[in-house]
């Protein structure tokens, strides 16, 4: 069925396409899918996923350096390392960077690379929109960070409470960079969310019903729905802020009767679902890792999926627990206390299910599994301190202290980030064709885990002692010196852990180059569809569109039960996996236009901040990108046609896809 097409191939794995160029304006259709230039024009979900991963790791180092600067400043009483103003900028940008430029794009890396593979698709539903999402994110990230050189970074905290963000209290342009930068990053998230939702709902392989999808696919799907509904709320909040600062609106102008509390509501209606946007992908990742390394199916799959969906819904009803001290009224406080306690239930279900999956399993403690166990332990601590915040009187005591800082680092670092590292080690052989070193992986894990607990454990104590967040220094007689010293030492242990990860990548890549070891399609004896194709994943993903019978279908093809009910091997992965040798698979053609279009957005941003005249080049770039995109067919008509699963009505198909992109352009 796969090979019905005898016309020339479009994009053979690893080969330069030989397609006649069709001039389109100044730029011709990009030709190649290899070489460095191809990364700028690619629409391949795997390449885009890798770029998200590299980008997020880069900003992870950036945000990490900011964290170290904070810890140097606070290591001893009366620190002199950072001035008050610089300290405000550094802790603000640390938060913004880690949330929007590290965890979210890292999750997007896994989502981009794995979602199409796990549902058995060739690519995402709208490949050019996917490229646009990435470039848009990168443009926003760079735009935000240029503020360091243009009069100072934002300094109002990542939550940017009004009226501290008004022109009166934040006269520089830092908050403008915050508002517009996050707006651009938000566009990227929204477009990507729509794209991935359509991909999962619409492009599943035959037989893959919703309840046969891997848990990771489910958690990422819930995440995309959360993004779909949360991003527009922050969009409006950021617009109101920009209008206040740039066009003299009065939304947060108390003198005119404006309400600073409105900002808090809008921000946290976005901000609390955002917390689940950060954690659910990691939950999904370890839900793939733990069954694989326990050699058991996930325990209670429907409950796992159901609790993820429940978190997705309940996440919308707890936002005001961030605002217990802002005077929202007793009834609100009581209601949000209750809902916050309830949301611990589905999370607890997940933790019990992971433990039950490991119970009685034949455990292998490879690095991915170590990180996954780290997530369970650390997230449980963070979850428990979270429940203490549901108790409003206790929360009132803890608000704005280091106890809160400890809590959210235990869930975001101990939950999300360790989960992502588990994912890096787990899928590395699938993406790059070699495993990361176990030795360095273990050094990486233990350094991070110990450093993490040294850093954030004592913060509970500091918080309960009354040390306030966001203060640039503390006095000797406050008595916070001892624990702060340990916290700062711990931060450097985390830094060494991160260094171990980078060394691991470098050494493993080098040794893979010197003496390549065939890792095979399925090095971990894993369970989902991405392991049924070659490693590294061929450009067309699957030679033959997979068909699915079971949940964990790939595992069922390798293993079965004998008469005594014992699990016995039916087949070896190398024998039944696809080898990626198909050559006539038609793939979407690369394009310049997503990059061009996304470049116009930061220019519009500078124009709002500095001078209206910049709108002229910005508008020109936007129009060029938009028109180029709309006029360029999604598939090169000169290229070969023939989806593997289609017969000869392909011309029809290509036109339809072109329209798909047209439509995408008018929306995006």
Partner 1 sequence: MQTLRLMLLTKEPPLADSKLSEATPAEATETVTEHTVEHGTTTGISNNKLLMWAFLGSECLLFGALISTYLLYKERFNDFAANLAPFEQDGRNIGPRFGGEDGEGVFDIPFTSISSFILLGSSLTMVLALSAIRRSEYRSFRIWTLTTAALGSVFIAGQIYEFTEFVEKGLGYSTNIFGSAFFTLTGFHGVHVSIGIVMLLATYIMHKQGRLNSDKAETVEIVGLYWHFVDVVWILIFTIVYLFPQ
Q: Which residues bind partner 1 (CB under 8 A)?
A: 125-126, 190, 193-195, 197-198, 201-204, 206-211, 228-233, 235-237, 239-240, 243-244, 247-251, 253, 256-259, 262, 266, 269, 547, 630, 645, 649, 652-653, 655-656, 659-660, 662-664, 666-667
CB contact at 8 A, 431 and 536: yes
Dig out the tokens for 374 from the structure: 């780290």
What is the nearest approach in angstroms of partner 1 to the Cβ of residue 173?
19
What is the nearest approach in angstroms of partner 1 to the Cβ of residue 357?
24
What is the nearest approach in angstroms of partner 1 to the Cβ of residue 467?
35
The DSSP code sequence of 15-51 is --------EETTEEPP--SSSTTHHHH---HHHHHHH
Name beta bridge partners: 23.
Answer: 28
Dig out the tokens for 212 from the structure: 């046969």
3-state secondary structure 564-598: CCCEEECCCHHHHCCCCCCCCCCCCCCCCHHHHHH
296 closest CA partner among 246, 223, 358, 343: 358
What is the nearest approach in angstroms of partner 1 to the Cβ of residue 294?
28
What is the nearest approach in angstroms of partner 1 to the Cβ of residue 531?
22
DSSP 147: G
What is d(CA 506, CA 509) in angstroms, rounded to the nearest whole number?
5
Comparison of 189 and 508: residue with beta carbon closer to partner 1: 189
Dig out the tokens for 602 from the structure: 């930061």
- The H-or-E segment that residue 636 falls in is none
The alpha-helical segments, DSSP class H, found in 359-398 are 367-390, 392-398
The alpha-helical segments, DSSP class H, found in 315-366 are 330-358
Comparison of 323 and 373: residue with beta carbon closer to partner 1: 323
What is d(CA 533, CA 577) in angstroms, rounded to the nearest whole number?
5
Q: Determine the Cα angle at 71 with ends 70 and 77, to 5°.
A: 100
What is d(CA 330, CA 452) in angstroms, rounded to the nearest whole number?
37
What is the nearest approach in angstroms of partner 1 to the Cβ of residue 96?
21
What is the nearest approach in angstroms of partner 1 to the Cβ of residue 232?
4
Q: How many residues make up the chain in this entry?
A: 668
Comparison of 22 and 652: residue with beta carbon closer to partner 1: 652
- The H-or-E segment that residue 559 falls in is strand 559-561
Comparison of 120 and 602: residue with beta carbon closer to partner 1: 120
Comparison of 571 and 631: residue with beta carbon closer to partner 1: 631
Comparison of 332 and 394: residue with beta carbon closer to partner 1: 332
Name beta bridge partners: 567.
Answer: 561
Comparison of 209 and 562: residue with beta carbon closer to partner 1: 209
What is the nearest approach in angstroms of partner 1 to the Cβ of residue 128?
13
Comparison of 102 and 640: residue with beta carbon closer to partner 1: 640
122 closest CA partner among 226, 279, 13, 212: 13
Comparison of 207 and 516: residue with beta carbon closer to partner 1: 207
> Helix, strand or coil for residue 195?
helix
Dig out the tokens for 47 from the structure: 């390449």
What is d(CA 353, CA 298) in angstroms, rounded to the nearest whole number?
8
Comparison of 478 and 638: residue with beta carbon closer to partner 1: 638
Comparison of 522 and 632: residue with beta carbon closer to partner 1: 632
What is the nearest approach in angstroms of partner 1 to the Cβ of residue 345?
21
What is the nearest approach in angstroms of partner 1 to the Cβ of residue 56?
24
Comparison of 197 and 443: residue with beta carbon closer to partner 1: 197
What is the nearest approach in angstroms of partner 1 to the Cβ of residue 162?
13
447 closest CA partner among 494, 413, 489: 494
What is the nearest approach in angstroms of partner 1 to the Cβ of residue 548?
9
Residues near 11 by Cβ (< 8 Å), separated by ≥ 6? 17, 33, 539, 540, 585, 587, 589, 639
Comparison of 461 and 627: residue with beta carbon closer to partner 1: 627
Q: Determine the Cα angle at 643 with ends 639 and 647, to 5°.
A: 110
DSSP 213: S
Note the Cα 555 to chain centre separation in Å.
27
What is the nearest approach in angstroms of partner 1 to the Cβ of residue 121?
10
């Amino acid at each position: 069925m796969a090979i019905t097409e005898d016309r020339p191939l479009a994009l053979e794995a690893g080969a330069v396409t030989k397609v006649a160029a069709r001039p389109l304006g100044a730029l011709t259709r990009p030709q190649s899918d290899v070489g460095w230039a191809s990364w700028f024009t690619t629409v391949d979900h795997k390449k885009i996923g890798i770029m998200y991963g590299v980008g997020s790791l880069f900003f992870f180092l950036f945000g990490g350096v900011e964290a170290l600067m904070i810890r140097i400043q606070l290591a001893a009483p009366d620190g002199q390392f950072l001035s008050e103003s610089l300290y405000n900028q550094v802790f603000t940008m640390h938060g913004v960077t880690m949330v929007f430029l590290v965890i979210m794009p890292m999750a997007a890396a896994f989502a981009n690379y794995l979602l199409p593979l796990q549902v058995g698709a060739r690519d995402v539903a709208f490949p050019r929109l996917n490229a646009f999402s990435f470039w848009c994110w990168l443009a926003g990230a760079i735009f935000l960070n240029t503020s360091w050189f243009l009069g100072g970074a934002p300094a109002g905290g990542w939550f940017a409470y009004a009226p501290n963000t008004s022109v009166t209290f934040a006269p520089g342009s830092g908050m403008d960079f915050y508002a517009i930068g996050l707006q651009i990053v938000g566009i990227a998230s929204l477009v990507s969310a729509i794209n991935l939702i359509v991909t999962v709902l619409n492009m599943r392989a035959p037989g893959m019903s919703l309840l046969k999808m891997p848990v990771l696919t489910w958690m990422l799907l819930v995440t995309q729905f959360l993004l779909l509904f949360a991003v527009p709320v922050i969009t409006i909040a950021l617009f109101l802020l920009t209008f206040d600062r740039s066009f003299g609106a009065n939304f947060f102008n108390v003198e005119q009767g404006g309400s600073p509390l409105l900002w808090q509501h809008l921000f946290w209606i976005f901000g609390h679902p955002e917390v689940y946007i950060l954690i659910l992908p990691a939950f999904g990742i370890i839900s793939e890792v733990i069954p694989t390394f326990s050699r058991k199916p996930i325990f209670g799959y429907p409950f796992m999926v159901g609790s993820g969906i429940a978190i997705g819904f309940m996440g919308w009803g707890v936002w005001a627990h961030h605002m217990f001290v802002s005077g929202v009224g007793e009834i609100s406080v009581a209601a949000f206390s209750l809902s916050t306690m309830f949301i611990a239930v589905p999370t607890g279900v997940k933790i019990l299910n992971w433990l039950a999956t490991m119970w009685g399993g034949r455990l292998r403690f490879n690095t991915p599994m170590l990180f996954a166990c780290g997530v369970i332990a650390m997230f449980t601590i963070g979850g428990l301190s979270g429940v203490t915040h549901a108790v409003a009187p206790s929360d009132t005591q803890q608000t704005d202290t280091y106890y809160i800082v400890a809590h959210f680092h235990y869930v975001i670092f101990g939950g999300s980030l360790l989960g992502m590292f588990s994912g890096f080690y787990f899928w590395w052989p699938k993406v790059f064709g070699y495993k990361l070193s176990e030795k360095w992986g273990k050094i990486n894990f233990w350094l991070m885990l110990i450093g993490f607990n040294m850093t954030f454990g004592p913060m509970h104590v500091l918080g309960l002692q009354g040390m306030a967040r966001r203060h640039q220094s503390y006095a000797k007689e406050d008595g916070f010196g001892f624990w702060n010293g340990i916290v700062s030492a711990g931060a450097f242990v985390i830094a060494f852990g991160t260094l171990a990860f980078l060394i691991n990548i470098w050494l493993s890549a080098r040794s893979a180059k010197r003496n390549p070891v065939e890792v095979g399609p399925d090095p971990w004896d894993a369970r989902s569809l991405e392991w049924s194709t070659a490693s590294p994943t061929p450009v067309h993903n699957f030679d033959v569109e997979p068909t699915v019978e079971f949940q964990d279908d790939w595992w069922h093809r390798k293993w079965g039960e004998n008469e005594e009910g014992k699990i016995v091997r039916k087949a070896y992965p190398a024998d039944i996996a696809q080898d990626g040798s198909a050559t006539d698979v038609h793939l979407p053609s690369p394009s310049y236009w997503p990059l061009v279009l996304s470049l116009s957005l930061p220019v519009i941003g500078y124009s709002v901040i500095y001078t209206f005249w910049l709108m002229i080049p910005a508008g020109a770039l936007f129009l060029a990108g938009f028109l180029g995109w709309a006029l360029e067919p999604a598939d090169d008509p000169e290229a070969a046609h023939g989806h593997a699963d289609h017969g000869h009505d392909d011309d029809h198909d290509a036109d339809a896809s072109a329209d798909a992109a047209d439509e995408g352009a008018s929306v995006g």
